[in-house]
Structure 1
């Protein structure tokens, strides 16, 4: 995940003349693009036709694909924080209530049946928080999985099926065998027969892991899991409320009687 920020904003009274297949790229827009694109860089654009227009007129390589559309969806939902008040006018297509990342996260947490018309800004924010907390745990995946090899070779522990937080907890036990830092959960219950191996073999791992890096990763993962639990409960509440409101609206629509206009 990488941050994005607004470099410059300009309003165009005639958007068609600013960027079109017939007129190309206006001088005003071309100047803004050139100010922020360095040689060799690629410009992400929000519509496929923009690729042809900008590349043919300015010679700047452009990119439009599914990943770019995910980014544009996120930017559109943040427009009120990025664009001056009253300066942003987005089409209904630009404001679609779900992107693919949101659909994936909703499916993962059991909300795959949520209809697009039920989506609210609060649901978007709660889903985004779930995605972010999952990402914080996943970003440590490569370094955590590196530890699996050492656990297998040194202690005969097969940790391939462990989730990342369990693996991080095991590494913390090995890095801080004297209990210098409190660990989450019932460790004997969490590790079962492997618990005694981790305790007894801790001296064998001296110098293998970077203790501070392991501590920082563990703290981030524990914090993210706690936030995730709260976000999941909030999302469940929001979805339940959205479904109720939607069902009530559908019922009202079904039972509504057509109006009758009397003519005198």
Structure 2
């Protein structure tokens, strides 16, 4: 995403008049100047803008829930994208973000009220989201190695989580090295564990890339530790914030 143009309108209500449906010459020139692709749509922040621009300039516009969420994100970043424009209060952008609320709900923080959201909460939420993205990417890579477990040891790992899969692949690639996370005796069934231990020599020359398995295993554990610690810190911060806000309310009674 990048900025294509920015213009100052002394009277914003004159730029696009919601009552008369008239677009002034300055905004008309700006929109037409950058309108290039007939198969694209212009995302606009209000349904009224969509109606007026389509009727007046014949430019197809888009305004839906996805666009509204995108506009919230743009407002939050407005200071860096358009430093000439005074941005709305960041708190308002954060509190109205559906994406942030969905993210907090996913990690068990559905009790976070809109007026509690601040920079700390959004930064820790972004860390959790990034951890999930990393785990997803590495999971796809590890799944490519899971067929070795099926071919060599007749182990079906399709329903395993990323940590269990990474551990199994690490065990067969580096049988003499210690497993640094979790207890294999608890992680695997007795049959699975015996096969992983006994079949380790069979993976030599099987085509599995040991260096990649080691890297994915180590990175998976690093991200898992970061995610666990961030969730702990976020939970602690939310508890503190609730206590602080309750104290503030009591003082103002």
Q: Is the pair's TM-score, using the shorter chain for normalization, greater than 0.5?
A: yes
Residue 15 (structure 1) aligned with residue 12 (structure 2): yes
Taking a change above 3 Å as real, the CA distance of residues 93 and 187 of structure 1, as seen in their structure-2 partners, is closer
Q: What is the Cα deviation at residue 132 of structure 1?
A: 1.8
- Report how far residue 199 of structure 1 moved: 4.0
For 1:1-264, what aligned pairs fall within 5 Å after superposition? 4-21=1-18, 22-24=21-23, 26-28=25-27, 30-31=29-30, 34-35=33-34, 38-84=37-83, 87-90=85-88, 95=93, 97-174=95-172, 176-177=173-174, 184-186=180-182, 188-189=184-185, 190-193=187-190, 194-202=192-200, 203-204=202-203, 206=205, 209=208, 214=213, 217-253=216-252, 256=253
Segments of 5+ residues of structure 2 without an aligned counterpart are none
Mark the runs of 5 or more structure 1 residues left unpaired by the alignment.
257-264
Q: Give the structure with the higher percent helix.
A: 2
Q: Which moved more, 1:17-26 or 1:102-111?
A: 17-26
- Counterparts of 1:26 and 1:210 in 2: how far apart (Å)? 63
CA change 1:17–1:169 in 2 (3 A) is: farther
CA distance in structure 2 between the aligned counterparts of 1:36 and 1:200, rounded to whole angstroms:
66
Give the number of aligned pairs: 248
CA 1:156–1:80: 2 relative to 1, 3 Å: same
Rounded Cα–Cα distance in structure 1 between residues aligned with 2:66 and 2:147: 34
> 1:224–1:188: structure 2 CA closer, same or farther, 3 Å change rule?
closer
The alpha-carbon deviation at position 120 of structure 1 amounts to: 1.5
Contact 1:25 1:57 in 2 (8 A): no
Cα RMSD of the aligned pairs, angstroms, is 3.5
Distance 1:48 1:198 in 2: 60
Please report how far the alpha carbon of residue 141 of structure 1 lies from its aligned counterpart in structure 2 after TM superposition: 3.9
Query: How far is 1:160 from its partner?
Result: 3.3
Cα pair distance change 1:81/1:234, threshold 3 Å: farther
2: CA distance between counterparts of 1:179 and 1:16? 73
Task: State the partner residue of 1:262.
Answer: none
Q: CA deviation at 1:74?
A: 2.3
Distance in 2 separating the partners of 1:179 and 1:230: 29
User: Contact 2:131–2:223 (CA<8 Å) still a contact in 1?
Assistant: yes
Q: Sort the Cα spacing of 1:168 and 1:114 in 2 relative to 1 into closer, same or farther, 3 A.
A: same
Using the TM superposition, name which of 240-249 and 22-31 deviates more: 22-31
Q: Is the CA contact (8 Å cut-off) linking 2:148 and 2:208 kept in structure 1?
A: no
TM-score, scaled relative to structure 2? 0.76
User: Structure 1 residues 74, 184: CA separation in 2 closer, same or farther (over 3 Å shift)?
Assistant: farther
Change (3 A) 1:141 1:97: same
Alignment check: 8 A CA contact 1:172 1:215 kept: yes
